Structure 1
Amino acid sequence: MNETQPKWLHWAKQIQGIAQTGLTYAKDVYDKERYEQLRALSLEIMSEYTKMDARILAHLFAGEEGYATPKVDIRGVVLKDNRILLVREKEDGEWSLPGGWADLLLSPTEIAVKEIREESGFEVKPLRLLAVLDNQKHNPPAPYHVYKLFIHCEITGGQAQEGLETSAVRFFAEDDLPRLSRNRNTEEQIKLMFDLLRHPERVPVID
């Protein structure tokens, strides 16, 4: 377990995972009822400690079905004149690499290209995978367990343009980063991207 993750969050996510998997495979109506109780307990724990509305939490997890696995977040990494492309999120007013949840029927590189176009206005081509990071080790505590994929892309066209979820598009130097949307990406992750791009001989970081 990540030492920076509160024990209550670790336990709540474990309970949620057990409940989700149990509801998927249980046949007996009484077993299903017990798994529903476990899910409700995990949501109660999260609501108590995060102060997030229980109804919102229930909505977040209600659509989760099947064997419980980590979610996948794809981030596009674009460098121009030694500056990195970031977009300002309308949700919190803070900055992130363009990206989002993986979509069904699209490959990771296709998602990176789509997200960069939709959030920044730039057309890009994917070059290589830079890193696969576990959010439990590299991000603030969150309800979801997420694998974050960072994909290096090169601009081929388009122009800076805000999107439905973004309010600004800019390139930033490594020593002049704005306030970051830390659940999406941290300063340490952005600096890791700069380092990996300075050393293309390095293999992707997987942690």
Structure 2
Amino acid sequence: MSHEGWLLRTLRAWRSPAPRRRMGAGIAVVNGGDVLLIRRSDTGRWDVPGGGADAGETPEQTARRELREETGLSVGPVRVLGVFPHRYTYQDGNVVDWETHVFVAGFAGGEVRASYDATEARWWPLSALPVDVSDASLAYFAALTAVRA
């Protein structure tokens, strides 16, 4: 490789920082054969309520806070569905390697309302989940339908 080629590759690598690592969490709230999903305001795609952890939060605390912020709901006991690593590139070019902890909880009652960074919140039949979702959400849905089968 020429010195020029090496220099260009080195400069590109220097300008492209390594992806940041973040921990996030969400909760799949289940009511009979339905699951509560939100339409994310940043992507317009359907997802389980969730988001990034605040400093010092455990995954469960993050999931509960995000559920409350995005839907107005609280839930009782939760169980772990899984931990899902995935990479996401934001519109501004930032790349984040996410480690998303997803929990499952039964619906404990209350009125669902979209708020915070959700433009819509609604119940979806587990047998007919939306297709306008991210690859990460597809992985959550596959795990959820597997444990519900």
Looking at secondary structure, tell me which structure has more strand per residue.
2
Structure 1 Cα separation of the partners of residues 128 and 12 of structure 2: 48
Q: Give the C-alpha shift of residue 105 in structure 1.
A: 2.1
> What's the counterpart of residue 171 of structure 1?
123
Compute the TM-score of the two structures, normalised by the length of structure 1: 0.57
Structure 2: gaps of 5 or more residues: 1-9, 90-94
Q: Give the C-alpha shift of residue 72 in structure 1.
A: 1.2
Q: 1:121 to 1:86 in 2, by over 3 A?
A: same
Greater length-normalized contact order (CA 8 Å, ≥ 6 residues apart): 2
Structure 1 Cα separation of the partners of residues 121 and 48 of structure 2: 10
Looking at secondary structure, tell me which structure has more helix per residue.
1
% identity of equivalent residues: 21
Structure 2 Cα separation of the partners of residues 103 and 71 of structure 1: 10
Instruction: Write the letter of the residue equivalent to 1:121.
Output: G
Instruction: Write the letter of the residue equivalent to 1:116.
Output: L
Q: Give the C-alpha shift of residue 38 in structure 1.
A: 4.5
Find the residue that maps to 1:134 and give its secondary structure. strand
Mapped contact 2:37–2:123 kept (Cα < 8 A): yes
Give the 5 Å matches for 1:47-196: 70-135=21-86, 142=89, 143-182=95-134, 185-186=137-138, 188-196=139-147
Structure 1: gaps of 5 or more residues: 1-33, 47-60, 65-69, 199-207
Compute the TM-score of the two structures, normalised by the length of structure 2: 0.76
Mapped contact 1:109–1:126 kept (Cα < 8 A): no
> What's the counterpart of residue 67 of structure 1?
none
